Structure 1
Amino acid sequence: MAPRTMRSRGAFLTLVIAFACVMLGATLPTPMYPLYQQEMGFSPVIQTVIFASYAVGVLAALLLCGGWSDIRGRRPLLLAGLLFSMGSSLVFLWAGQVWILLVGRLLSGISAGIFAGTATAAVIDSAPEAWRSRAPNAATAANIGGLGLGSAVAGLFVEYLPAPLELSFGVHAALICVLVVLLRFVPETVERRPGTRLRPRKIKVPDAARGMFVSAATVGFAGFAVTGLFTAVAPRIVADVVGNPNHALAGAMPLLLLGASALTQVVLPPARTRLFLLAGCLLLAAGILLVALSVHQASLPLLAVGAVVAGCGQGMSFAKGLAAVDDLVDSSDRAAVSSAYFVVLYVAISLPVVGLGAASQAWGLRTAGVWFCVAAAALAVAAWASLVRGR
């Protein structure tokens, strides 16, 4: 006998919470990297490689199965994403070697990649009539807000509760177990097409949108490179550069950046795409330069302000950049263009911080961090200039 399904409001709330919990799991290790480094003795480069393996998992999931939920249904893909997320937390519970950390991050990336597209569509599909217009904002808040909350919650657990390297992952795995059970009662919103072949998602950018795509992808690269900086290296900046070893403070820094980004995307009006995109480029550049100044001056308050300003600029430029590109393509090309856009963003969140890890070994974290931020700010300004020239 099939289980009774939830009403629309309960299903919508369950999917939003599941989305947030999966993304939360993706940033749980952020404040723990210094502890893992002390315990296992790996270099700063290896730390950033461990972080970057998450982006490899995201990209693999986005490219391989980004459109599968339209064919096989939302629930099977959501279940797979939850199981990968739980698997990641269970792997971290027994992490004692670098390769185990790499596997845990890879599984977390796969879960986030599955949820990025499937959960967004499921949240919008299941929204009650009263929430229909706000459903995309709810999905954005769950996605970006969950990423920010993960590091903040883990920082509090690490600093103030026992078992600093295990408790966060144990609680997260338990939450995912509950969500796996609840997912059985969420109604399916897609009619399955069992005879259709599952294929990797194509990537292409039509000629008509190529100029705008380059500009939007450039500022997106800058914004997500800074996201990588905060979610991978913020604990080292707070401890080694600022000189404050508090793990809760280190975990709060990504929340400031990603929380500001999520809030900005939620409150932005749908109109005036170009104006907000231009403003987002400049705001992002200003925030990144504030972060550079905070690293140079070893100032925690300035780092917090820079995180908020850069987060607002990142959210504005990301949302409006994607919207500006979408306006120039046919609906039949939209998924492929969006995939190309997200490929750029997840390359940006991984490769630059690996370079930062190598540079910090050669020149020190303060010098490498300042030049990293200057380069990212220059990209944002270059995107702004290209948009102005292309008016």
Structure 2
Amino acid sequence: MASSQPAAAGSPVAFIGAAFAFVLTMIGTTMPTPLYPIYQQQFGFSQLTITIIFAVYAAGVMGALLLTGRWSDQLGRRPMLFAGLAASALSDLVFWHAGGLGMILVGRVLSGISAGIFTGTATVAVMELVPEAWKRAGPLVATAANMGGLGLGPMLAGVLVVAFPMPLILPYVVHLALVVLAVLCLWRAPETVERPARIRLSVQRLGVPEGVRGIFIPAAIAAFAGFMVCGFATSVTPAFLGKELGHHNPALIGFVAGLLFIASTAGQILQGRLPAARRLPIGCGILLIGVLSIAWGIGAKTLTGFIIGPVVAGIGQGIAFRAGLGAIAAASPSAQKASVVSTFFVVAYMAISLPVIGIGVVASFISLQLTGLLFALLVALLCCVALGLLLRPSRRQRLESP
């Protein structure tokens, strides 16, 4: 006997409300990006400290994905979404009153938890709530809400810092108000799953069956490279723009940091128009060009490279990520699909955190410019490895979508 009944079909209002709540939550996870230089000035943080602050966010995301990834199937979508909004609101409150490193780290972990819950639960909820007439738009809306929100976060915070006083308070107050709005959007949304009579909560298992490894390895390498660039955009870009290029305007920093995610959204939408067997290699190739453009921006100390590079890299990252995820899901047995996809996401979020910490460590010994060039070289190398694996005839055949 079920304790709740699922909705038969979504209404336009519920669908739009859920997607809007998804956007608002993801905005909060990247809002601190243009504020990092201000934190550095106020608290005397080193670049390594800033990268660690960012990395604990990824730890929160991975923890939430693994721990709560399957809970919405048992508890329902709405309770988990409200839990994600609660974590987001707590993050805002902690940042609002942060007086040092400890509270900032707590705020980032809470922000990561909110993102981890929404990445898994809201993606499914949005696709379940889509009206019958809009079915084909469901996955694209979920993708745009996720990556678009990540891109809008630094842009919104940068504008608020430039236009209004209290730069380390106002962005979080504004986002807290947006979270309240998101609660209202979800309040009347119907439940889309039937809760079992006996609830069993479990941790998401990781694993890659032997038959899936042929496509998983190059797809995971490409995702790792793409998410390394995402981590770079939201944690290290402010330092490069300020220290190396002399651009300290928070609005400009937020714009540049958000470009990659907006471009990734466009890339994920674009990938459906490409031949199925060539999507992943094309994405890797475009990502490679974008990374080389970023390297040019670092080496030549030109803002143009920091604008063109993230746009191109973002398009490539979006194409490669969605194509790789689709190929892996199609190749995985039904009983192991969830664990394989979760493993893929964990690899991606490890790429956001660990390499960025490496940048902070290396930058303590050599110049930030040389560190950035070495980083770009590593990402370019990973793209080349992935391309080499994908262009083997035996693996190209596996990229055909069903």
TM-score by length of 1: 0.97
Out of 217, 222, 237, the residue aligned to residue 220 of structure 2 is 217
Residue 148 (structure 2) aligned to one of 145, 155, 172: 145
Shift of 1:271: 6.6
TM superposition outliers: structure 1 runs of 4+ over 6 Å: none
- Aligned residue for 2:399? none
Partner in structure 1 of residue 4 of structure 2: none
Q: Counterparts of 1:238 and 1:194 in 2: how far apart (Å)?
A: 55
How big is the shift at 1:301?
1.1
Distance 2:161 2:35 in 1: 7
Pick aligned residue for 2:165 from 162, 167, 178: 162
2:139 partner letter: P
Q: Which residue of 2 aligns with 1:359?
A: 362
What are the within-5 Å matches in structure 2 for residues 309-388 of structure 1? 309-388=312-391
Q: 1:1-391 maps to which residues of 2 (within 5 A)?
A: 8-269=11-272, 272-389=275-392, 390-391=394-395
- Give the aligned residue type for 1:308: V
> Structure 1 regions of 5+ residues with no counterpart?
none
Q: CA deviation at 1:70?
A: 1.0
CA distance in 2, matches of 1:17, 1:267: 22
Q: CA deviation at 1:33?
A: 0.5
Using the alignment, how far apart are the partners of 1:135 and 1:150 within structure 2?
Answer: 22
Residue by residue, what CA displacement relative to the aligned partner does 1:57-98 show, whole Å, maximum 9, x if unpaired? 000000001011111110000000000001101111011110
How far apart are 1:274 and its partner, in Å? 2.6
Give the superposition deviation at 1:131. 1.3
Aligned residues of 1:274 and 1:320 also touching (Cα < 8 A): no
The 2-side partners of 1:225 and 1:159 are apart by 28
Contact 1:93 1:170 in 2 (8 A): yes
How many residue pairs were aligned? 388
- The 8 Å contact of residues 81 and 111 in structure 1, kept in 2 or not, is answered as yes
Deviations 1:258-302 (A, max 9, x none): 111101112322773330111111110110011011011110012
Q: How far apart, in 1, do the equivalents of 2:274 and 2:373 lie?
A: 35
- Once the two structures are TM-superposed, the CA of residue 303 in structure 1 deviates from its matched residue by 1.2
2:218 partner letter: S
Q: RMSD of aligned C-alpha atoms?
A: 1.5
Query: 2:177 is aligned with what amino acid?
Result: A
CA distance in structure 2 between the aligned counterparts of 1:324 and 1:296, rounded to whole angstroms: 36
Are the aligned partners of 1:273 and 1:323 in contact in 2 as well (CA < 8 Å)? no
The DSSP-based 3-state class of the residue aligned with 2:90 is helix
Larger deviation: 274-283 or 6-15?
6-15
CA distance in 1, matches of 2:173, 2:180: 11
Question: Structure 1 residues 280 and 7, CA, compared in 2 at 3 Å: closer, same or farther?
Answer: closer
3-state SS, counterpart of residue 340 of structure 2: helix
State the AA in 1 paired with 2:118: F
Q: TM-score, normalised to structure 2's length?
A: 0.94
Report the Cα distance in structure 1 between the residues aligned to 2:151 and 2:111, rounded to whole angstroms: 15
Contact 1:273 1:324 in 2 (8 A): no
SS at match of 1:245: coil
Corresponding letter in the other structure for 2:208? V
Shift of 1:155: 0.8
Deviations 1:282-341 (A, max 9, x none): 110110011011011110012100110100110011010111112211222111110000
| DSSP 3-state at the match of 2:331 | coil
* Structure 1 residue 129: Cα displacement: 1.4
The answer on whether the counterparts of 1:85 and 1:107 sit within 8 Å (CA) in structure 2 is: yes
Identity %: 46
Which one is further off, 210-219 or 265-274?
265-274
